[in-house]
Structure 1
Amino acid sequence: MSPVPPTCPIAKVSRKHPVNQDIPDTVHNRIADMCRSIKTSPVEMDDILESSSHKITDGTVVKMEEAIERNSHRESASPNHKKDFRRPITDIPGAMLNPEPRQGLGGLRNDVLSKLGIVDPTVDPSNPTFDFDIWSCTIANLRDQLGVPTPPRSEFFFRRLTVRGSGPAIGYQDTVWTSLTSLFDFRRWSQARERKPILQGLDGVVQKGELLLVLGRPGSGCTTFLKAVTGQTLGLELDPESVIEYSGIPHSVMTSRFKGELIYAQEVDQHLPYLTVGQTLEFTAGMRTPRTRLPGVTRPVRIKHAVEVMLVAFGLSQVRNTIVGDDYVRGVSGGERKRVSIAEAALAEVAVSAWDNSTRGLDSGSSLRFVHRLRPLPDLTKSCTAAALYQSSQAIFDRFYKVLVLYQGRQIFFGPAPSASEYFEQMGWCRFEGLVPETPEEFEKYWRESPYYASLQAEMDRYRQDPGSRGDAAQRELNELLFVFVATLGMSMVFRTVAAATKTLAQAMAVAGFLTLTLVTYTGFVLPVSYMRPWFKWISFINPLIYSFEALLANEAHGTRYPCVSPVPPYRDLAGKVFVCPVPGALAGQAFVSGDAWFEQAYGYSYSHLWRNLWIILGFMFFFLFTYVLATEVNAESFVDPGVLVFPRGSVPGSVATVRLKGKGKANDIEALGSIVFPVVATRNGKASAPASHGGRFLWRNVCLDVKVKEGSRRLLDDVSGWVRPGTLTALMGESGAGKTALLNALAQRLPSDAAHGEFRIGGKPISASFKSDVAYVQQQDVHLETSTVREVLQFSAMLRQGVGVPKSEKLACVEDIIGRLSMEDFADAVVGVPGKGLNLEQRKRLSIDVELAAKPSALLLLDEPTSGLDSQASETIVALLRKLAAGGLSMLCTIHQPSAMRFQQFDRLLLMAPGGRTAYFGGIGENSETVLRYFGRHGLVRRCADAENPAEYLLDVIGATDATTRDWPRLWNESAEAKSVSGELERMMGNGSRAHSREITRDIAHARRRGAYTVALPAQFPIVCLRVFQQYGDRQDTSSVNSRCGLSARY
């Protein structure tokens, strides 16, 4: 008789169960055979046993065999497409699957895993040994084995994809006068908007389970391609000959009936800033939880488990209870906010997903980890993914199946990723210069004549042949809360209707401004009902706010008595009907006034209207909800700004005007219009000018930073020391959340005095009271006044931040010198604007650097991620600019996330920070990074840096930017000879400058007291700031507010 394996889940109820003591040997042998080749879930077996009260009979065994056979057929029917990340259930360790949930892990057990009987710690997100790949394999495998239907998945196919947009080559800034006269510009209304091509004739197919990498410079149409394949075509026009299909489903049907299966993750991180990371992901998981789930897994449990997995997978567990924040609200770091966006999109679990530059703001290790997380998901869910990355390392590139290369809207390659380099080498890039195509048309012609294009056409033809398949006081407070809540919802529907019915933001703001002033004025508070003009009084009847206002006042006054207070002294000893209070609603003989009577007599507000008004407000809310939905469907062709430079009228430079008049070159590319490539940091003398330096090193020692959190305090910086020399460029690197920005804030003295502590010196001398004005700090966010021109922004910075003794003419000359030396003449008079209608990312970043240079910093220049969000060429431009500024004698410390090997060599020294704000290395980089690699190699690394590997990515990988590190690198650094050498050098430099400086410190303090808190005195600041405010709100502000006030004044 065959023995039953003890690990088999059925073995527990064979002859060990009281009711199964006498089962025949034949039945026992059949159970043993099933246990040795079991291919079904123990949960399903347990259900079969429970239906027979755990008594095993011939009928029970037959049901078990049928279940195994069903799962075997399902397993054999699944396609083996490329590399299958799923493992058969027999390959999962026996300890992982158990029909009886065990509590061996105590509080670390997960509800979902307990319900499924999974006890393997590598699939438990609360366990330190959690592995995302194993978790994905296990969940997908269980879903198949249990017969849980998966959502339909799809590939996408596109042929002759041509997308057009509309918009001028350049824009003009509106003023109050031009906004009024434009109403009578009949030529503007009669002219048809010119449609210009963004994408031209793209072909390709992405199968289920494939990752597509989209490459191209800004303006090449990468974003437009991702929007087109995911149905985000507002403001865009697909050519009638363009074909986009999803497993045989046309694009129009997919975007109308299955739009939830398409997702576009945009480049900009937009979140509710006051929600925590956990709340943000819980909302997304709740909205995308499928109806069909694993057996026994409820909706709340599934949401909790999915959020826990994403928090661990993307390294967000430590900031779960931290608010997300934004550019103005302090929250998580920029890299962590980007990871929140990625996790939010990953929770959607859609058929086709598109990621637009989702590695922006992430360090190299986090970027590689993001792509690593993307890789198994298409294989497991049979979905397809497209990602556009501006900066892609070789390690990231190797993880994609296919690549699409765009050049000014034209397709120059599509095919397997390993074949891309071979294709361009055959084109001639490694040979003589004359063999290389130069124009977009030549690139496209070469691509269409290549064998790769013919192979693509053959694959597309095969695809088309098989398109695929388918208390009263307490009550008053509750009433008040109810009416405020309902009124807020109602007004929200009003403004949503306005936004959905208009084409642009300016139009929406104009209507919303006029509507807000009108509704507030005719609410009954600013202008009582009795004072309203008869010909405009009808506005109050269609105003939802007036009904809420009446209900709030009547609710507040209901049942109250107000003592009678006469405006003049009353007569004495008045009693009975003789006494009458001179207040509306008063009754003869009463020394008080009823609140209900007073409001009804004075204003016509009655408590009997309370619940009537509630139904009226609800009616308004549902009416505007209907109009909002209707406007969303009808007004689908909203105008999208193509990304243009905006100039004040009469200020367009000749070079840009020539491009506009000719209408050739990049003016034909709607995305490239706002990103004209200007010369790369050309200088007059071959060097960029830098302000005069103090001539000494900037030193800091034992810098610590503690912040208060709910649990007490959290240390962001832990005894960080170092220095920067004049004329050198020092890189500050570390994974997201390691404290890089916090260190820059501490060095720039931008933190409260009691938050950060440590020693700061310049040339060995303690920093003076004027140190803040000697330091320039370029922050990560490019925040500028959108109505000012580039020249005005630089002039404003120079006028207020350069010293009082500098003449005005010299300050203005300094601005013109910066514009000329940095080749900014072509857009010096352009308006800053907003992204999409104004300066592009590179121009904004250069403006942020120039604003700080206009202040003439004499001590230090700090930069926080100056290359974040830029493509490779723009990043090279910024780093080259910094290198030239450093050559002028300025001390510079720069954080950088994704440096290429060439950019990494531009830096002289490296400060590498590990999680927790601790130093992992500080010293020179060396030729070909030999110095820093030699240091890490001495500490017994298992993996050495390969010749073709980027040293920066290698360093981030070994110190903890990925989950693979096990060494305590900060401890190793503190015990190393290099750290002792740094400490000795710091002590020597600080000692040389610490002798007899009390007289200089006293002189600095006296000078600071005479000057005040700012570099320029208040009388000199006032006219400069007033001029800027008048320009913003008078002549250049969005004219909607001015026009709204003019229209409102006409109604009084």
Structure 2
Amino acid sequence: MAFLFQPWIIPCFSRKFGMVWPILEGILVDKMIIGSRLGIFWGVSKEAMTSGHITYNGESLQNFYPRRTSAYVSQIDNHIGELTIRETLDFAARCQGARGQTAGSFSWRKHSLATDYVMRVPGLDICADTLVGSDMDRGVSGGQKERVTTGEMVVGPRKTLFMDEISTGLDSSTTFQIVKCVGNFVHLMEGTVLMALLQPAPETFELFDDLILLSEGQIVYQGPQESVLEFFESLGFVIPLRKGVADFPQEVMSRKDQAQYWADNLRPYVFVPTSKIAEAFKESKYGKLVESNLLVPFNKANENQSALARSRYAVSKWEIFKACFARELLLISWHRFLYIFRTCQVAFVGLITCTMVLRTRIHPTDEINGNLYLPCLFFGLVHMMFNGFSDLPILISRLPVFYKQRDNLFYPAWAFSIPSLILCIPYSIVEALIWSCVVYYTVGFAPGGGRFFRFMFILFSVHQMALGLFRTIGAIGQDMVVTNTFGSFALLIMFLLGGFILPRDTIKPWWIWGYWISPLSYGQSAISINEFIAPRWMKESTFGSDTVGHNVLRSHGLPVRGYWYWLGVGVLLAYSVFFKVLSTLALKYLNVIPSDAIKGSNVEDDHSHSSGQSFAMMLTLTTNLTAVIVPHTASVLGTSPERSTGLFNLWIFEIFKEMLREGVPEKRLQLLSNVSGIFTPGVLTALEFVEEVMKLVDTLRHALVGLPGSSGLSTEQRKRLTISVELVANPSIIFMDEPTSGLDASAAAIVMRTVRNTVDTGRTVVCTIHQPSIDIFESSDESITGIPAIPHGYNPATWMLKISTQAWEQKIGQDFVSIYRNSDQYREVEGLIECLSNPVAGSEPLKFATEFPQDSTTQFKVCLWKQNLTYWRSPHYNVVLLFFSTICALIFGSVFWNIGSKRETMQDLFNVMGALYSACSFLGVNNSSSIQPIISRERTVYYREKASGMYSPFPYAAAQGLVEIPYIAVQTLLFCGITYFMIGFERTLVKFLLYRLFMFLTFSYFAFYGMMVVGLTSSQQLAAVVSSAFYSLWKFLSGFLAPKPVSDIFILSTSLA
């Protein structure tokens, strides 16, 4: 039997119940891939390829549900940022069937005991009611998110756990506590854990039963962890004093570090490759023991039936539905401002609409006035559809969490879809009711309660259909740029073939099928029938023997029979059900698009944030803290990730605000910013290129940075790049927050060597490090805490964290704060601070000639250069946009084929105007909506770089706008070159150039509007909602749907549109 993993074939290994196994590897990428592939193999994903016959407890994988029997704890933190930690874990406990316990956050009565226990072990109880947060919403720190990821999986009853780098962002003490708790669970409950750890401390390493050591896709050791040194000693490698046992075998695998551990004086040193070490393992007693264990068949008589999950889900369908429904209610409550804003927006747009076509201006007397009522009816339908379009960002932002929980069998796809579909019904009712109340009688539509409610019902049906349509597009596309593009494409098809822009009789034969399948055509027919067969429109027309209402309907190719209303409503509701079923099926069967195919917009952010909610507990970061950091030194500080990261935020950001309130001049604060730099743990660099700056730390020139977790540089290389971005500004003081988080021991040593080299150049560095190894800790010259010497053979980080806790102080009856304040070291530091606080006689205050290192022109050039490379290397945006424009041009040309040459009747002119109106509005809307995810992703980077003093807002904004111009010019060339001649406009050079100019200006201002609205709003979801209102208003005030009003104020409105 063998597991076939790409890019290696990994020999199989046995795993026993009641044991904890760590995975260590000299190459970080290998270990991450193998750990994730093992989780994939046990059913978390369908990407793995297997061969041979695979059994678990003697059972074939087809006889039970591996995904419920085991759990894969990923190193990627995917959570819904709007939920608190308690709510996230309560939901996981409820879906996984924590026995005899209630997920209290959803019942509002009491909390789950399992949730409380899982939060208490990793120290999450202090922030249980804090929002998890995202890159734009304030929440917990990155280390706390990592703990939430672990707790989400272990809160259930699963006994086989694959845990991938759960220690990232945690201090040594917390990691030791978690691993010890996992070990107790394994030994008492007969579970099995396979865990990948980075930089484990010796005391944490000793908690494991067996060790799996991987290198270059091969197992070089598998056996008792206490025997690993004996195995390597047999090969000639000896661990030196004060070297971590976990770090030693990893560095032996490294060509650069292996020679220093060679201790066989009888043989000259020659590099021992991984293949030879793997062969030596197979021939050793440990390898033979593994092989003999594999040959022993499993005894089913000893099988624990509770170890295998025989049902697909842990709880009943009804319980799953209740849990998902309760969570959806919480999310709607969190987004209540968004929904209230959207509702107020509907009222605002409706108010403008009704005042444009007041009943005092138009009267139901003839066909001319009837043609003024019809656009207002059509616009109501269009606005309902655009209102549904703004739901896309919310769905897309939740998809990563859905795929994770679906693949881990928390709930099926229908349990995710149905609650939101049910809860959107009241929202659609409110939207339709408000629009109807504001518009119906103010405009002067046909009086009568029955017709009013039928008007409202058709708007409700269109809104439900639009929500289902865009939900389906989101479930299939999965990416904001792609879904925005195809959402605009769907709107375009329905808009062109809906029966208003082009009457049914004038639609080309090859497009008539589009009219019959367009939901908007049925909505237009239904809402027009409701109005124009009313008694007031039944008087005889002066233009024939038919009624005025029938003439209006027939002139636009609309039916005149009353049953068309109910037929239209029925088709719209059928479309709504169809789209909702289709979206559920897409969520069920489609897997997440690989990250190297479609790059997400999420940016990893490990910042420590405060909660968006208030809660009783307050975390004291520091009291009366003074410190001095001497040049040419590197200092380490901190006890817990929350305090160290929060302390950095306090020092670097909040202290500026406090000093400003105390009257310190802003210029002096800017000076402090100019001489210092901060490196934060989240890798927020958006540079998609590496050029001269990388010479400072390594030879990774010309390597693409890519996006975290998907492409480009490795995590360790990103850390070094982020450090170099700050170093290139040549600051005198550098604050580094967790520069080694997420790195293995060898990679962390490389980063710290870079820090050491930085210090040697004369700079001062203060950094927080979680779980530093002995080597890393000894690269620091002093510790802020002033704790005495470290005992021989003990990991300094773990000892420091252990000895400095309040519990340990109470245990030994000592107060380290008091001891330090009475020490000579404290007095020396205070004296040094007093000395350095007084300027040298004859010296002048340090000042800079300009606020920024470069002038505005240079800032603009650099920002433009960066934006140009970023756009050029973003084909999922610009290529999709150009492709969409070309397809739209062909559609426009074929729908409006040669209508520009027909100018005999008013309807012919109306058709030509409809072609121009549609082209301007829909291509512009697509430009605006497609650019918003790109700008939203870049905005996170902009905030960091602006805070670092790299550039001012104006050069950045100017470069961001200018880089769009060439792509818009190409888009205009493609679109105008196709549509102008296919539609049949007058073939003169001047008019063709004017056509191109106006299209270019239209596409440009829509794109710039998309940039602006992202900058003005707090989230992409709110930007989409605000945009939908402006799109609707611009469509209505453009002069095509409604005539130019008499009032001066509305003349200004139409001019702005």
TM (normalized to structure 2)? 0.57
Kindly state the Cα deviation for residue 996 of structure 1 after the two structures are TM-superposed: 8.6
1:870 aligns with 2:743: yes
Residue number in structure 1 paired with 2:1028: none
* Cα distance in 2 between the residues matched to 1:771 and 1:548: 65
Judged with a 3 Å threshold, the aligned counterparts in structure 2 of structure 1 residues 349 and 333 are, in CA distance, closer, same or farther, namely same
Q: 1:818-856, CA deviations, whole angstroms, 9 ceiling, x for partnerless residues? A: 5445331x5434353443421111111111111111222
Structural mapping, 1:437-456, within 5 Å: 438-456=272-290
Assess if the C-alpha contact under 8 Å between 2:461 and 2:572 holds in 1. Answer: no
Judged with a 3 Å threshold, the aligned counterparts in structure 2 of structure 1 residues 296 and 614 are, in CA distance, closer, same or farther, namely closer
Residue number in structure 2 paired with 1:897: 770
Assess if the C-alpha contact under 8 Å between 1:708 and 1:714 holds in 2. Answer: no
Q: Which of 58, 78, 92 is equivalent to 1:248?
A: 58
Aligned-residue RMSD, C-alpha: 5.0
Q: Which of 429, 445, 458 is equivalent to 2:292?
A: 458
1:775 aligns with 2:676: yes
Report the 3-state secondary structure (helix = DSSP H, G, I; strand = E; otherwise coil) of the residue aligned with 2:82: coil
Report the 3-state secondary structure (helix = DSSP H, G, I; strand = E; otherwise coil) of the residue aligned with 1:838: coil
Larger radius of gyration: 1
Q: Structure 1: which amino acid aligns with 2:889?
A: S
Q: 1:512-540, CA deviations, whole angstroms, 9 ceiling, x for partnerless residues? A: 45522211323439987424964456557
Judged with a 3 Å threshold, the aligned counterparts in structure 2 of structure 1 residues 1029 and 724 are, in CA distance, closer, same or farther, namely same
Residue number in structure 2 paired with 1:731: 636
Assess if the C-alpha contact under 8 Å between 2:13 and 2:290 holds in 1. Answer: yes
Assess if the C-alpha contact under 8 Å between 1:230 and 1:352 holds in 2. Answer: no
Q: 1:319-361, CA deviations, whole angstroms, 9 ceiling, x for partnerless residues? A: 1221112344321011111111111111132132100111111
Q: 1:155-212, CA deviations, whole angstroms, 9 ceiling, x for partnerless residues? A: xxxx5x34232xxxxxxxxxxxxxxxxxxxxxxxxxxxxxxx4243x23222222111
Judged with a 3 Å threshold, the aligned counterparts in structure 2 of structure 1 residues 642 and 537 are, in CA distance, closer, same or farther, namely closer
Greater strand fraction, Structure 1 or Structure 2: 1
Kindly state the Cα deviation for residue 731 of structure 1 after the two structures are TM-superposed: 0.8
Residue number in structure 2 paired with 1:517: 488
Report the 3-state secondary structure (helix = DSSP H, G, I; strand = E; otherwise coil) of the residue aligned with 1:710: coil
Q: Structure 1: which amino acid aligns with 2:296?
A: R
Q: Structure 1: which amino acid aligns with 2:632?
A: G
Assess if the C-alpha contact under 8 Å between 2:94 and 2:102 holds in 1. Answer: no
Residue number in structure 2 paired with 1:414: 222
Residue number in structure 1 paired with 2:729: 855
* Cα distance in 2 between the residues matched to 1:405 and 1:302: 45
* Cα distance in 2 between the residues matched to 1:1044 and 1:752: 48
* Cα distance in 2 between the residues matched to 1:266 and 1:958: 32
Judged with a 3 Å threshold, the aligned counterparts in structure 2 of structure 1 residues 962 and 1049 are, in CA distance, closer, same or farther, namely farther
Residue number in structure 2 paired with 1:789: 689
Judged with a 3 Å threshold, the aligned counterparts in structure 2 of structure 1 residues 710 and 734 are, in CA distance, closer, same or farther, namely same
Assess if the C-alpha contact under 8 Å between 2:461 and 2:569 holds in 1. Answer: no
Assess if the C-alpha contact under 8 Å between 1:285 and 1:303 holds in 2. Answer: no
Report the 3-state secondary structure (helix = DSSP H, G, I; strand = E; otherwise coil) of the residue aligned with 2:767: strand
Q: Structure 2: which amino acid aligns with 1:335?
A: G
Report the 3-state secondary structure (helix = DSSP H, G, I; strand = E; otherwise coil) of the residue aligned with 1:444: helix
* Cα distance in 1 between the residues matched to 2:809 and 2:149: 24
Q: 1:284-341, CA deviations, whole angstroms, 9 ceiling, x for partnerless residues? A: 1111115x64899999689722222222222112212211123443210111111111
Assess if the C-alpha contact under 8 Å between 1:234 and 1:640 holds in 2. Answer: no
Report the 3-state secondary structure (helix = DSSP H, G, I; strand = E; otherwise coil) of the residue aligned with 2:21: strand
Kindly state the Cα deviation for residue 490 of structure 1 after the two structures are TM-superposed: 5.0
Judged with a 3 Å threshold, the aligned counterparts in structure 2 of structure 1 residues 219 and 297 are, in CA distance, closer, same or farther, namely closer
Structural mapping, 1:27-176, within 5 Å: 159=1, 161-165=2-6
Greater helix fraction, Structure 1 or Structure 2: 2
Q: Structure 2: which amino acid aligns with 1:717?
A: L
Q: 1:793-827, CA deviations, whole angstroms, 9 ceiling, x for partnerless residues? A: xxxxxxxxxxxxxxxxxxxxxx3xx5445331x54
1:1043 aligns with 2:883: yes
Q: Which of 761, 764, 781 is equivalent to 1:888?
A: 761
Judged with a 3 Å threshold, the aligned counterparts in structure 2 of structure 1 residues 327 and 847 are, in CA distance, closer, same or farther, namely same
1:212 aligns with 2:21: yes
Report the 3-state secondary structure (helix = DSSP H, G, I; strand = E; otherwise coil) of the residue aligned with 1:748: helix
Assess if the C-alpha contact under 8 Å between 1:957 and 1:965 holds in 2. Answer: no
Assess if the C-alpha contact under 8 Å between 2:130 and 2:611 holds in 1. Answer: no
Kindly state the Cα deviation for residue 950 of structure 1 after the two structures are TM-superposed: 0.6
Q: Structure 2: which amino acid aligns with 1:213?
A: P
Kindly state the Cα deviation for residue 608 of structure 1 after the two structures are TM-superposed: 7.9
Structure 1 residues not aligned, in runs of 5+: 1-158, 166-196, 500-507, 565-575, 645-704, 792-814, 912-920, 924-931, 935-944
Judged with a 3 Å threshold, the aligned counterparts in structure 2 of structure 1 residues 363 and 482 are, in CA distance, closer, same or farther, namely farther
Assess if the C-alpha contact under 8 Å between 1:324 and 1:332 holds in 2. Answer: yes
Residue number in structure 2 paired with 1:718: 622
Q: Which of 257, 262, 270 is equivalent to 2:78?
A: 270
1:846 aligns with 2:701: no
Assess if the C-alpha contact under 8 Å between 2:211 and 2:224 holds in 1. Answer: yes
Kindly state the Cα deviation for residue 416 of structure 1 after the two structures are TM-superposed: 1.9
Residue number in structure 2 paired with 1:906: 779
* Cα distance in 2 between the residues matched to 1:293 and 1:709: 30
Structural mapping, 1:434-583, within 5 Å: 434=268, 438-464=272-298, 469=303, 476=433, 487-488=466-467, 490-498=469-477, 512=483, 514-524=485-495, 529-531=500-502, 534=508, 535-536=510-511, 538-539=513-514, 546=520
Structural mapping, 1:259-298, within 5 Å: 259-289=67-97, 293=100
Kindly state the Cα deviation for residue 882 of structure 1 after the two structures are TM-superposed: 0.6
Assess if the C-alpha contact under 8 Å between 1:777 and 1:863 holds in 2. Answer: yes
* Cα distance in 1 between the residues matched to 2:634 and 2:770: 15
Q: Which of 788, 793, 800 is equivalent to 1:933?
A: 788
1:748 aligns with 2:593: no
May I ask how many residue pairs the two structures share in their alignment?
695
Assess if the C-alpha contact under 8 Å between 1:429 and 1:436 holds in 2. Answer: no
* Cα distance in 2 between the residues matched to 1:518 and 1:965: 68
Residue number in structure 1 paired with 2:1023: none
Q: Which of 868, 892, 896 is equivalent to 1:1030?
A: 868
437-446 or 324-333, larger mean C-alpha shift: 324-333
Kindly state the Cα deviation for residue 460 of structure 1 after the two structures are TM-superposed: 2.3
Kindly state the Cα deviation for residue 1000 of structure 1 after the two structures are TM-superposed: 3.7
Assess if the C-alpha contact under 8 Å between 1:707 and 1:713 holds in 2. Answer: no
Q: Which of 818, 823, 827 is equivalent to 2:698?
A: 823
Structure 2 residues not aligned, in runs of 5+: 239-262, 306-425, 435-455, 600-608, 893-1057
Structural mapping, 1:355-370, within 5 Å: 355-370=163-178
TM (normalized to structure 1)? 0.58
* Cα distance in 1 between the residues matched to 2:464 and 2:8: 45
Kindly state the Cα deviation for residue 397 of structure 1 after the two structures are TM-superposed: 1.2
Assess if the C-alpha contact under 8 Å between 1:198 and 1:409 holds in 2. Answer: yes
Residue number in structure 2 paired with 1:879: 752
Report the 3-state secondary structure (helix = DSSP H, G, I; strand = E; otherwise coil) of the residue aligned with 1:361: coil
* Cα distance in 2 between the residues matched to 1:907 and 1:296: 46
Residue number in structure 2 paired with 1:126: none
Kindly state the Cα deviation for residue 614 of structure 1 after the two structures are TM-superposed: 3.0
Residue number in structure 1 paired with 2:246: none
* Cα distance in 2 between the residues matched to 1:988 and 1:599: 87
Q: 1:395-431, CA deviations, whole angstroms, 9 ceiling, x for partnerless residues? A: 1111111111111111111112222222222222123
* Cα distance in 1 between the residues matched to 2:659 and 2:162: 42
Kindly state the Cα deviation for residue 372 of structure 1 after the two structures are TM-superposed: 1.4
Q: Structure 2: which amino acid aligns with 1:620?
A: F
1:619 aligns with 2:428: no
Q: Structure 2: which amino acid aligns with 1:380?
A: L
Report the 3-state secondary structure (helix = DSSP H, G, I; strand = E; otherwise coil) of the residue aligned with 1:783: coil
Q: 1:932-975, CA deviations, whole angstroms, 9 ceiling, x for partnerless residues? A: 235xxxxxxxxxx6532212111112333989976795753675
Residue number in structure 1 paired with 2:332: none
Q: Structure 2: which amino acid aligns with 1:784?
A: T
Q: 1:361-418, CA deviations, whole angstroms, 9 ceiling, x for partnerless residues? A: 1111111111012111123332211101121221111111111111111111111222
1:335 aligns with 2:143: yes
Kindly state the Cα deviation for residue 481 of structure 1 after the two structures are TM-superposed: 8.4
Report the 3-state secondary structure (helix = DSSP H, G, I; strand = E; otherwise coil) of the residue aligned with 1:1051: helix
Q: Which of 376, 379, 385 is equivalent to 2:184?
A: 376
Identity %: 18
1:348 aligns with 2:156: yes
Q: 1:497-517, CA deviations, whole angstroms, 9 ceiling, x for partnerless residues? A: 445xxxxxxxx7786455222
1:947 aligns with 2:792: yes
